[in-house]
Amino acid sequence: MVKISLENIAEAVAQAKKEAKKRNFCQSVEAIICLKGVDMKSPSSRIHEIVTLPNPIPKEIKVCVIADGDLMIKAREVGADGILTKEDLERLAEDKKEAKKIAKEYNFFVARADLMPSIGRALGPILGPRGKMPQPVPPTVDIKPIIERLRRSVMIRTRNQPVVQCRVGTEDMDDKKIAENIMAVLSAVDKKFRLDQHLDSLYVKLTMGPAVEVKMK
């Protein structure tokens, strides 16, 4: 992977915090990874995956489980943020406004594998473009660790431009912890794109603040 030190990332995080105006809410910290030499017209040049962060982001990450039977009961027992049944899917297929509301409310979806065809028909056109199609799981899976992992994860994806942008922390987090989260995201992108060849630049910014470039070795 390209040589970027944890210290340089932490310095950029501190600078981004300093340059951003104070707001009446806790701003998110975002990483912007700009790539070069990547053909975005090729499907093989797209990235769309979930990255588990070493340091959880204080802002709430909501996970919705789509299931019936025992898996639905288990999901409710372990505190899933939302639960949808097959009956709910049939209802949402006819209520696009409510479906869009649900797609916006939850960060991640997990579904019993045999319900995926129904989900594709009812929610596919809404969840698909948002990169939120559910992670399919068997009906006997232990759902608790899956929910816990997703609550400390972020989705990274490229679209039409060779850029990965995602939330990596909040302004009240320690600079080094945010830097460690950024390193985790870089590591995931590196597995796909070989950053020693394809990284053009790396920036850090707060929600309402200017972007600060991270110095490279």
- pLDDT for position 81: 96
Percent of the chain with pLDDT over 90: 82
Per the structure, the count of domains in the chain is 2
Shared domain for 200 and 96, answered yes or no, is no
Domain end point (choices 126, 150, 174): 150
Which backbone phi and psi does 151 adopt, to 5 degrees?
A: -70, -15
Is 116 part of a structural domain of the chain? yes
Domain carrying residue 140:
63-150
Percent of the chain with pLDDT over 70: 99
* Structure tokens belonging to residue 201: 């630049």
Shared domain for 144 and 157, answered yes or no, is no
Is 1 part of a structural domain of the chain? no
- Tens of pLDDT, residue by residue over 91-150, are 999 999 999 999 999 999 999 999 999 999 999 999 999 999 999 999 999 999 999 999
- Does residue 34 contact residue 213 with C-beta atoms inside 8 Å? no
The letter for the amino acid at 126 is I
**CATH code of residue 122:** 3.40.50.790
- Does residue 131 contact residue 48 with C-beta atoms inside 8 Å? yes
- pLDDT for position 45: 80
Burial of 185 (0-12, 13-18, 19+ CB in 10 A): buried
- pLDDT for position 38: 87
- Tens of pLDDT, residue by residue over 105-116, are 999 999 999 999
The residue among 107, 182, 187, 115 whose CA lies nearest residue 149 is: 107
Shared domain for 144 and 94, answered yes or no, is yes
- pLDDT for position 119: 95
Which backbone phi and psi does 64 adopt, to 5 degrees?
A: -110, 130
Query: Pairing relation of β-strands 135-137 and 108-112?
Result: parallel
**CATH code of residue 166:** 3.30.190.20
Is 22 part of a structural domain of the chain? yes
Is 25 part of a structural domain of the chain? yes
Shared domain for 67 and 144, answered yes or no, is yes
Shared domain for 72 and 145, answered yes or no, is yes
Residue 50 has pLDDT above 70, yes or no: yes
Instruction: Indicate the range of 55-64, 76-85, 171-180 predicted with least confidence.
Output: 55-64
- pLDDT for position 60: 81
